[in-house]
Amino acid sequence: MTKTLPFSDRFMQVMEEHKADFYANPFIQAMIAGEVNPEALLYYVQQDYRYLGHYLPLYEQVCQTLTGQTIDAEVADDDREYAAHKILLDLAQTDDKSIQEGKYPNSTVTDQYVNHMAKSVEKDPFIGLVALAACPYDYAYLADLLIRDGLIKPDNPFMPWVGYYRGIDKGLTRPMLALVNQTAEQVSPEVQEEALAAFIQSTKYENQFFLQGMEATK
């Protein structure tokens, strides 16, 4: 009997199919070149801070629905990714914490992405979980790709930031993938396909999320 592969293995195929799109993204290209654009980095940090403010409650909601438990302590410990943001703020040569917590509008992409995740969670907890999984998985997989392909070298100023996310077997990614694979066995093939479509849409938003900072600060 052929063993069924974990549902999350399909995420790798999605990322391989979208790798060229990520690599062509001006934000990623600047990062590969080691070029620091302070305005774009600050814009990214602000929007990511706002995004995470919606992301974690949605993930908490899905975890409660599917498992009856709260999110792992290791996730809650850095729920707004201050450590990762600090790396970028240091590159932008500022330690002003109010940059993240100040008054500024959400971008269109941020609002669209959050709305996509919220609607996915409302439609079905598994679909919502998979839509949410794209964020940590895509970052971890992309970080591995950039280092594996020799595009981010040890002397690149962005290496600490890339290293923060590297590895699909750690941080938020590990428990989330475990829950994805466990729950996938309990839902229909039709729901699995809807969930994968939600993951693909989230992956497209991830690429747009990187791009928006470069476009907004031209």
Each residue's pLDDT tens digit, 114-164: 999 999 999 999 999 999 999 999 999 999 999 999 999 999 999 999 999
Q: What is the pTM of this model?
A: 0.93
pLDDT(1) > 50:
no
Please, what is the average pLDDT of the chain? 91
Q: How does residue 95 score in pLDDT terms, banded at 50, 70 and 90? A: confident
Query: How many whole angstroms separate alpha carbon 46 and alpha carbon 119?
Result: 23
Residues 174-216 have pLDDT tens digits of 889 999 999 999 999 999 999 999 999 999 999 999 999 999 8
Q: Other CB atoms closer than 10 Å to residue 27's CB: what's the count?
A: 20
List C-alpha distances in Å: 10 to 46, 196, 197, 205. 31, 8, 11, 18
| The two structure tokens encoding residue 147 | 């280092």
